[in-house]
Each structure stands twice: as structure tokens, then as C-alpha cells.
Amino acid sequence: MWFMLGFGIYGALMWYYLFHGADSALPVDLKGSAADPAMFMTDRELELSTDFSRIKDFLYFISVPLEWMIYLFVLGFGLSKWFRKASSGLTRFSIVHTAVYVLLLSFASWVLTFPLRYYSFTVSKSYNISVQSFHSWMRDGLVDFWISWALTTLMVGVMYWLIKKYEKRWWLFAWLLSIPFTVFLYFIQPVVIDPLYNKFYPLQDEALKEKILNIAEKAEIPAENVYEVNMSEKTNALNAYVNGIGSNLRIVLWDTTLNKLSDNQVLFVMAHEIGHYVMNHLYWNLISSIVLSFLGLWLGNIIYRKWIVKYGKTWGIKGVGDLAALPALLLIFSLLSFVVSPVENAVSRKAERDADQYAIQMTKNPEAAVGAFQQLATVSLSEVNPPKIVKWFLYGHPTMLERIHFLDSYNTGKTLDKEQLPY
């Protein structure tokens, strides 16, 4: 109950900060520059970008503690005990108990968060960012639900088996098993998971494909094709990426990006994505994920044990190996993830800046680079200079203000001092 009261006060303060108290004024020395949104957005677009960004930011900062409150609700009101009892009475196979328990917990969370997710969907529709039908949106949500349920069931089943077998060192064995599992997910995502949501096909523009593959060849990327994904039936936003590892590496462009950007702008965007590959950011992401999972499991185990000792009886939990304690473990992992996210985002922003510099050195076309980000900001209604808290917790990329200013002031012919180089 105290948490619910605190949640209400927090929501009110966050609303005031985002809609009235946050300072996102443009620095005086950048007014009238290419980074000034007034130079490439209409007054109406400026108004819409501010409103849309504030609403989406507020929904994020509300959704995170809402997840925590749901876990506490499930524990505090005895639902977790009921889920355990309902699942254990079906069969003697523990994996079935786990699957049913996770299904009940996931469904409860899905139902309780549905109003917020639906509101977020309607906001994107009303601001013409999303053009997705409700049927298509629900389909994607259900695909998300079942994929998450299957993966969570597998991980939880293994984790609680380890807790029962190696009570003190379960987290270490769980981490060791997570390494090949994480690598496997990185490998199969482009060819197994991504196609569940959208249609992928070879890029239709042969001339543009050849130009992109020429850049990839210069960068020594083992890519034989460029893929286009049909996102225009869902969104007006723009995106492109290089993902996967080994033989499953894929260069992907959203069709919205192809429709909205010129060829030179697309080439800059793709050079940026290729820069991630050249500088091994995909592998560094994999390594950092493995390192963070080690720290998270180690620290999470310590907190988990203390919570079970302190609150176990109140929650009706029999011990650390009780499946009914899963919401507590998920709550701990969510809290740790939230706390570490500003650090992860800062590292990610550095990598994105490196990729921007690589792309400008590769294409030597600052005008196309600046134009690409101006168009991206306009189409996506992105706030060019968001509040600091929003940047810390939500921005894995530099802000549009930072990116456009950097590219606009970058002279491809100058020699940078070592201290000026981002990598």
C-alpha cells in the first residue's frame, strides 16, 4: 500500500517535470544552425514533436514502476501462492508446473499492463507515427507474449532446477549456461525471430543495393545481400540495422527509410550501421550482455536470499527454491536493470557517435548525413533536445541535437587531434 501511494506521488511529480519543469531549450549558440529544429520543422511539427515525446516519455517512466507494483501485488495478495497451487496439481512433471505458473503470471501481467500499452498504441496512431491496425498490433503483441512465455519457461525451469540442486552457487551455473544460450539467440534472431513479425525480402532497388554492398565490401563485411522489410504497413518511422553474427549476418532497411530518404542519405545510414560491424559493436554488445548477466545474477542472488528470509513467510513462500518466489526474483532483476540503464545508455551513445564518425569518413557527405537526421527527427516527431533524465534513461543514441551538430560541424578534410577522436 505504501508502494501504491508512492507510485501515485511519483507519477504526479514525473508528469510535472516532463510537461512543465524540464528544461529542453536550445543552446543559444546553436539557434539558427542545422541542429535548430526551427530550421527544418514547421511550427506545427515542433509542437507535435514536443507533445508526442513528452507523452511517450511519461508512459515509459510510469510503466517501469508499474511492473514492480504488479510483482508486489502478485506476492502480497497471495496470487503467487495460488498460481503455484494451480500449476502443481496438474501433473507430476516439474517443467509443466513451471510452464503453467509462468503462463498464469505472464497473463496476469499482460492484462494489468494492457491499458497502458493500448494507450501508447493509440497515441502513436493519433500522431500518425503508427499506421498499424488494431488487429496487426494485437497479433504482434500475442507473438511477443508467446515467445516471451516460451523463453521465460525455459530459463525459469533451468534456474529453479539449479537452485534446488546447487542452492548456494546456482547463479554461477545459471550464468555459465546463459552464455551459449545468449550466443544462440544472437545467431537465430535475424532468420527465425524477426520474420515472425515482418516480411523480409531482397532490396528491390538493384542500383542502391550495389552501392550498399560496395560499402560493405570496403568494410570487409561478409554480406551477399541487402534486405528490405515491409514496415510501411505498421509505421511511418525510419530505421535500418545490421544484426546477427556469423553466417546469419543481415543488412536490413525499412521500406519507410527507402521511401523518405534520398540514396545518398540511405548510404550514410547504412555506412553508420556497417560502422557498428567494423568496430565490433555487435560482439561488444554480446560480451557486455554476458558480463552484466554475471553481475546481475550474483547481486540478484544476494538480494533474493535476504528478501526470502525477511518476507518469505508473509508472502507464503517456502524457500529460495519455491517457484512462488519468482515474482520477487523478476522484481529484483528489473530493479537492477533500471539502475544500470543510464550506464548502458552512455556506453551505447559513445558507440553510436563512433559509428556516425565512421559513416561520415566513409561517405564524405556531411550534407546527406545532416539531412538524414533532420528527416528522421521530422518523420518520427523526435524531440531534438530532450530533458536530461529522459536522455539518461531512454537514449541509447546521442540526441538529435548532438548528432546533427556533430555532423554539421565535421569537416571531412581536417585532421583530428588524438584527444578529439571518439575511439
Binding-site residues for Zn(2+): 272, 276, 352
Residue that is written with C-alpha cell 530533458 in the block: 387
C-alpha closest to that of 343 among 302, 381, 282, 296 = 296
Q: Of these residues, 36, 228, 255, 356, which one is catalytic?
A: 356
* C-alpha cell read off for 80: 503467487
Q: Please, which residues have CB within 8 angstroms of residue 185's CB and are 6 or more apart in sequence?
A: 193
Q: Is 413 exposed, middle or buried (0-12, 13-18, 19+ CB in 10 A)?
A: exposed
Distance CA 316, CA 324 (A): 8
C-alpha closest to that of 335 among 381, 303, 312 = 303
Mark whether 210 is an active-site residue.
Answer: no
| CA–CA distances in Å: residue 10 to residues 16, 48, 335 | 10, 25, 16
Beta strands 226-229 and 250-254, pairing class? parallel
Between the CA atoms of 58, 64, 65 and 66, what dihedral angle is there, to the nearest 10 degrees? 90
* C-alpha cell read off for 179: 552464455
* C-alpha cell read off for 235: 509505421
Count of C-beta atoms within a 10 Å radius of residue 379: 20
Annotated binding site: 272, 276, 352
Q: Which alpha helices (DSSP H) does 261-387 contain, by range?
A: 263-278, 281-315, 326-363, 366-380
Q: Please, which residues have CB within 8 angstroms of residue 290's CB and are 6 or more apart in sequence?
A: 178, 179, 182
Mark whether 273 is an active-site residue.
Answer: yes
Q: Please, which residues have CB within 8 angstroms of residue 309's CB and are 6 or more apart in sequence?
A: none
C-alpha closest to that of 377 among 123, 39, 25 = 39
In the chain, the N- to C-terminal Cα span, in Å, equals 49
Q: Of these residues, 273, 322, 383, 402, which one is catalytic?
A: 273
Q: Give the catalytic positions in this structure.
A: 273, 356
